[in-house]
Amino acid sequence: MLVCQESLFTEAPPATGGIIVPSKNSKEPRETLNRERVLRAAVSLADECGIDSVTMRELGRRLEVKAASLYNHIASRDDLLGGMVDLALSEIAVPTEGVFWKETMRRRAISAREVFARHRWAAGLIDSRDRTGPDSLAYVDRVLGVLIQAGFSPAAAANAFLVLDSYLYGFERQRPDVSIEDGFERSEAARKILAAIPHGGYQNAARVAMEYAEHPFDQEAAFEFGLGLILDGLERQLGADSTRR
Amino acid sequence: MLVCQESLFTEAPPATGGIIVPSKNSKEPRETLNRERVLRAAVSLADECGIDSVTMRELGRRLEVKAASLYNHIASRDDLLGGMVDLALSEIAVPTEGVFWKETMRRRAISAREVFARHRWAAGLIDSRDRTGPDSLAYVDRVLGVLIQAGFSPAAAANAFLVLDSYLYGFERQRPDVSIEDGFERSEAARKILAAIPHGGYQNAARVAMEYAEHPFDQEAAFEFGLGLILDGLERQLGADSTRR
DNA sequence: ACCTGAACACCGTTCAAGT
DNA sequence: ACCTGAACACCGTTCAAGT
C-alpha cells in the first residue's frame, strides 16, 4: 500500500490503468467525493509519505481527481490540515468519567502518545490553529469535565489541561530519532564521542552520551517520569485548594 | 522598518534606487555576503513578516542579491532554518553555575519564553531538526553542567532537561491568541458563548469560558504554575535519590 | 453539484556562464 | 570566490467552461 516513491510519471496515467491504484476496482462508478473522504485520504497519505507530500496535486492523484476539484470539499490547504488534526485528535481515547481523575489523565496522555506515533505529522501541526472543530471541542469538554468533577475549579481545570498538554505535545516534538541500536555500535559510539571532545569541551554532554551508550535511553520511561511529576503536582494543588476552602 | 506588504513589483528595483532599502547607503560598495549575514537577515525577516515569508527569493530581495546566490552561503532552505533556530536559541540567557539549580532553571525557562516572544517562529521549528549547532551544543552542555553539579546523575540530568524543555516548547506552541480585551467585550463574549451552547452541550468548556470572561486568563501565571510544578517534582526526585545513596 | 483545463503567481534548486 | 540568467519541476488557488 505504501506508494510514496516520487511519481515516475508527470502525465496522468491512462484512464484504463488499474496498475497505479490496484486496490481500487475501477469498474464500479466511483462514488462522489466528500469532505470526510478527502480528509481520510490526506491522513493516510501523511501517515505513509510524510506531511510534506500532502499537496493538493498529490492528494488529487490519490483520489483520482484533479487538484482543483478538491476545492469543492475543502476551503484551502490550511483547512485541510486543520481537518486532519481534528481527525487525529479524535482518535485519542475518550476519558471515562467514572475513573479516578489521575488515572484518567494518565491514560489519556498515553493514548495521545500512541496516536502521535501513528500519525507522526500530527503533533507538529497543533499550534495557533484553533481547536474549534466539533470533535475537538467535545473532547476538550470531556477532559475538563473529568477535572471539574474531581474538584478542580473551572480555571484550575483549564490550567491543568494546558500544563499537561504542553508537556505532551512538547515531548512529542522532541521525540529523538535514536538510531544506534546494538551494543557494539553503542560502545563504539561512546568511544567516538569521547575522542571528539576537543580538549575538555562539552564534558557534561559527553558524560550523558557515555551513560546512554551503556544504558540505552528509554523514551517511554522518560515520558512517564515527567507525566508523573506533573500529575503529582496537580494532585497536591488540588489537595491544598480543597483544604483551604 | 517593517516592510512586509507583498512586494508591489515583481521586477528588480532600479539599481540606483535608494527607495526600497532606505537604511542602506548604496554608494559604498556592498560588503560581500556570508553565512552569518544571511542568517541574521532571515531571522529579522521572520520576526517582521512571519516564517512563511522567509523564501529564498524574498531573502535575496532583502539582501539585494538573486536567490541563487544564497546557495553560496547556505546548503539549502532546511540548512537556513536550522541556522536560524541555532541563532535564536543562542539568545537564551546563559545559566550561571553559581546559583541554586532551581533558580537557574527557572530563569532559563523565563528567558527562553522571552526569546520565543521575540522570535515567534522559533518554537515551531524545533523538532526532529538536530540540535547539533556549536552554539546549541555548548548551551546544552552548560545546562547539563548545572544539573549534574547540583547532584543529578548524568541520566537524571538529561531526563530533567528533556522534561523541562518539553513543557517549555509545548506551552509556547499552544500560546493562545487571546483577542478579547476590554471588560465589556469580555462579558459580551461570555453571553454569546452561553447562547451558543446547544441545549446543554459543552457545559464544562462553557464554564471555563465564562470564568475567563470575568477573570482574564493570565498566560504568564499559567506558565509559571506548571514550571513550578515540574521544578518541585525534580527537587523531590533529587532528594529521594540522594538519601537513598 | 461536481469536475476539468488552463492559467496565474509563486516556490526551491541547479548549473553554465560571467566577473 | 561570488554572482547572475535561465531553466526545471514543482506549488496553491481561481475561474470559466463543461456535464
Question: Which range, of A82-96, B178-192, B224-238, averages the lowest pLDDT?
Answer: B178-192
Q: What band does B173 get if pLDDT is binned at 50, 70 and 90?
A: confident
- B177 touching chain A per CB within 8 A: yes
d(CA A201, CA A212): 19
* Residue-wise pLDDT tens digits, A18-42: 333 333 444 455 678 999 999 999 9
Kindly indicate whether the domain formed by B1-74 is annotated with CATH number 1.10.10.60.
yes
The chain-wide mean pLDDT, for chain B, equals 82
Secondary structure (H, E, C), chain B: CCCCCCCCCCCCCCCCCCCCCCCCCCCCCCCCCCHHHHHHHHHHHHHHHCHHHCCHHHHHHHCCCCHHHHHHCCCCHHHHHHHHHHHHHCCCCCCCCCCCHHHHHHHHHHHHHHHHHHCCCCHHHCCCCCCCCHHHHHHHHHHHHHHHHCCCCHHHHHHHHHHHHHHHHHHHHHCCCCCCCCHHHHHHHHHHHHHHCCCCCCHHHHHHHHHHHHCCCCHHHHHHHHHHHHHHHHHHHHHHHHHHC
Mean pLDDT of A165-190: 68
Angle, nearest 10°, between helix axes B134-149 and B77-89?
40
Give the gap in angstroms from C-alpha A97 to the nearest C-alpha of chain B: 13
| A187 band by pLDDT with thresholds 50, 70 and 90 | low
Q: Mind listing the pLDDT tens digit for each residue in B19-65?
A: 333 334 444 456 789 999 999 999 999 999 999 999 999 999 999 99
| Residue A66, pLDDT above cutoff 70 | yes
Mutual angle of helices A154-174 and B203-214, in 10-degree steps? 100
* CA gap B95, B74 in Å, rounded: 30
Q: Which CATH class for the A92-175+216-244 domain?
A: mainly alpha
Pair B96, B78: CB distance under 8 Å = no
Q: Does A18 touch chain B (CB under 8 A)?
A: no
Is any atom of strand D within 7 angstroms of residue A57's beta carbon?
A: yes
Residue ranges matching CATH 1.10.357.10 in chain A:
92-175+216-244
Q: Quick one: how far is CA B186 from the chain centroid? A: 28
Q: Above 70 in pLDDT, residue A59? A: yes
Query: Is the distance between the Cβ of B68 and the closest atom of strand C smaller than 7 Å?
Result: yes
Nearest to A1 by CA among A22, A18, A26: A22
Task: Write down the pLDDT at residue B54.
Answer: 98
Query: What is the rounded CA–CA span in Å between residue B241 and residue B52?
Result: 47
Residues 77-136 of B with CB under 8 A from A: 124, 126-128
pLDDT score recorded for residue A10: 39
In chain B, residues under CATH classification 1.10.10.60 are 1-74
